[in-house]
Structure 1
Amino acid sequence: MSTLTTYEHPLNERIRTFLRLEHQFGQLDHFMVEDDRRTTRAAIAALLDIIAITARADVKNDIIKELDRHQVTLGRMTNQRGVDPEALEQLLGDMRRALEGIQNIPGPIGHTAREDEFLKGIAQRSSIPGATCSFDLPHFHHWLTQSSEVHQDRLDHWLHDLQPAMEGIRLILMLVRSSGSRRKVLAEGGFFQEALDPQLPAQLLRVALDAEADIFPEISGHKNRFSIRFMNAEPRGRASQHNQDVDFRLTCCAF
């Protein structure tokens, strides 16, 4: 069985923001594992992106609204045939805890890190290419030479009011991704389009391709319609349109 590569495309701004935050949380988790100057720098860069995204006042409310909505939807499934009541109750418990954690955050998400003067100094210099060198930010350079315990303690402090958001977004996206059924589709001449049900707004498209195929999808769409154009991954220069038929797997996720 061939390995598949999956591409995702959000169909509303809320899911777009959640996917970006999930990506940066993944970067942060990855680079926090090893305590090396370069990986710690990468972790700080991911953290700065997270606090920039969460600076929008509506991010906290968006997560709360989505968790509330999913809780109501899941609650209606309690007595449905084929539903595992223990698994459902565990999931509902995870959502209640995530919701409570976010509601208990004093102020906006990421406020602790966003108002930290040390991180503010790094963020200001990060907008200039290469401007986080030791001579640009000697305070940052000094901090990077400290022990792993010092780094972890400071990161834990900065992440205190981000962890609940991380858990909430992971739960939301897990439910969204599992809400659709994958189907096999043919893109004739490398192009596919389809209308969406306005009564059941889709939130996310997932396109799975054979990993060995040297093509990728360019996806555009909104709540009513979407289109997928497959492109050749050229080794040099701009990608070109793929004009052959393409078999792929499509999932329209709506929860």
Structure 2
Amino acid sequence: MITYEYPFNERIRTLLRLEDLFDKTSHFLQHDGAQEHHVALVTLFEILEVAGRADLKMDLIQELERQRQTLLAFRNNPEISEEALSGALYEIEQASAALLAMTGKMGQYLRENDWLMGIKSRAAIPGGVCEFDLPSYHYWLHQSSDARRNAILGWLKPLLPLRDGLAIVLRLLRASGRPEHQLAKNGTFQMMLGGSTAQMVRVSVRLGDPCIPEISANKYALNIRFTSPDGDLRPRPCDREVAFDMTFCNL
């Protein structure tokens, strides 16, 4: 199955964007090439921009505390594994403590690094990080892969509590719903939600089925229009019945 996630509010949208950026940074850091490390660094700059919301850290701390209180209610429940419950509570408490230990504006230490900010500003220009624009960066890219990787990890490390906290929140969010099988007749599906409290919907389509869901939703209505890519991957209306799984998620 291939799953498409559609957030219903800006808060979840921000967490999904950060999750994607942290995953990309981790992926490119596993490689040794200078070009991969350049992409990892540019992606770190994107994390800095998305994480700049002043209330993001407190949002995560409050949500983790809410989930901790919910889990505490399951103490001494014979149907719940005490070991699994203790492990989940410990993970949440560790993530909350790490977030609380973050001081100052998110990523301020990066903004105070003039060398990095010079690269960031040039990276926003197409082709703006050539060696004649940034000779010192060109020199850095020719250092050993371990030296580059360790430098990026050092710049990334203070932001990792953010990654760990949002990973827990998104994992709990995704696990909160149950998938239901649905059919889109003539490639369209509509549902009235009546003021639903759902924060995200997940639509899963069989991987071999060339149908792409275009989703628009709010707490009152959900609309899905399936399209099929042509030879140039341009979407065209899908006018046949499409089977899919749909999951509403809410913390």
1:240–1:80 distance in 2 versus 1, CA, 3 Å: farther
Out of 39-48 and 79-88, give the one that drifted further: 79-88
Deviations 1:25-49 (A, max 9, x none): 0000001111211110110111010
2:56 corresponds to which of 45, 54, 59: 59
1:90–1:53 distance in 2 versus 1, CA, 3 Å: same
1:121 corresponds to which of 118, 122, 142: 118
1:77–1:225 distance in 2 versus 1, CA, 3 Å: farther
Aligned identity (percent) is 37
Which residue pairs with 2:223 in the alignment?
Answer: 227
Normalised to the residue count of structure 1, the TM-score between the two structures is 0.93
Which residue pairs with 2:42 in the alignment?
Answer: 45
Which residue pairs with 1:94 in the alignment?
Answer: 91
Cα drift, residue 79 of structure 1: 4.2
Q: How many residues align?
A: 251
1:149 corresponds to which of 131, 146, 158: 146
CA distance in 2, matches of 1:182, 1:81: 27
1:241 corresponds to which of 237, 240, 243: 237
1:34–1:219 distance in 2 versus 1, CA, 3 Å: same
Deviations 1:43-102 (A, max 9, x none): 011101000111221221222222122222222233445322211110111011001001
Which residue pairs with 1:138 in the alignment?
Answer: 135
Is the Cα–Cα contact under 8 Å of residues 184 and 247 in structure 1 kept in the other structure? Answer: yes
CA distance in 2, matches of 1:248, 1:171: 27
Which residue pairs with 1:189 in the alignment?
Answer: 186
Residue 207 (1) aligns with residue 170 (2): no
Cα drift, residue 238 of structure 1: 3.6
RMSD (Å) for aligned C-alpha atoms: 1.6
1:124–1:181 distance in 2 versus 1, CA, 3 Å: same
Mind listing any 5+ residue stretches in structure 2 that lack a counterpart? Answer: none
Residue 29 (1) aligns with residue 26 (2): yes
Write the letter of the residue equivalent to 2:197. Answer: P
Out of 236-245 and 9-18, give the one that drifted further: 236-245
Out of 136-145 and 23-32, give the one that drifted further: 136-145
Mind listing any 5+ residue stretches in structure 1 that lack a counterpart? Answer: none
Deviations 1:189-219 (A, max 9, x none): 1111223364x61111111101111110001
CA distance in 2, matches of 1:56, 1:204: 20
Normalised to the residue count of structure 2, the TM-score between the two structures is 0.94
Look up the SS of the partner of 1:160 in the other structure: helix
Is the Cα–Cα contact under 8 Å of residues 34 and 145 in structure 2 kept in the other structure? Answer: no
CA distance in 2, matches of 1:225, 1:108: 37
CA distance in 1, matches of 2:232, 2:157: 44
Cα drift, residue 237 of structure 1: 6.7
